[in-house]
Amino acid sequence: MEKGFNAFNYGANAICFKKNNYNYGMICSWATQVDYDKIVMLLGEQSITGKNICQGDVVGVSVLSIHQEDIMNLLGNGHSDEIDKFKDIKYTLDDSAILIDDASICMVVEVIDVIHLEGIEEDNLVYAAIKSYKKNKEKMLTIN
């Protein structure tokens, strides 16, 4: 992993994967890079996607670009086991990781652990290793 790599620049991160014949997807606003090749994401207790993430899963993390509000809304509404959130979304499947096309950054991550911290035991703090990433510089929001 290159030094100075910044994984997250926005508050709308799509967490998506295929498992047990379902395409799971949600929006996570609390995610951060904690090492050159490690991230953490806090997935709320109400999330079906979060409830189905386990150690060893390979998951797609797409940092949505400034013009992907429609995708944020599609993935942020409803539950993945009740509706097909992906029917109107262009994406790429990489193993079990679902990556949103035209996102500013796409990462394939492997879940190292799912942690339940005191006070937020119901929520899932997902600790993951970045296996690969791709930047789409044309889609990135930069601050001068």
Q: What is the CATH number of the domain that holds 132?
A: 2.30.110.10
Residue 2 within any structural domain of the chain: no
Residue with the two structure tokens 């035991």: 121
Domain count, the chain: 1
Residue 1 within any structural domain of the chain: no
Terminal C-alpha separation, the chain = 24
Residue 15 near residue 61 (C-beta atoms within 8 A):
yes
What is the extent of the structural domain holding 45?
13-139
Residue 5 within any structural domain of the chain: no
- At 98-133, the pLDDT tens digits run 999 999 999 999 999 999 888 887 889 999 999 999
- At 28-57, the pLDDT tens digits run 988 999 999 999 999 988 889 999 999 999
Residue 95 near residue 80 (C-beta atoms within 8 A):
no
Residue 31 within any structural domain of the chain: yes
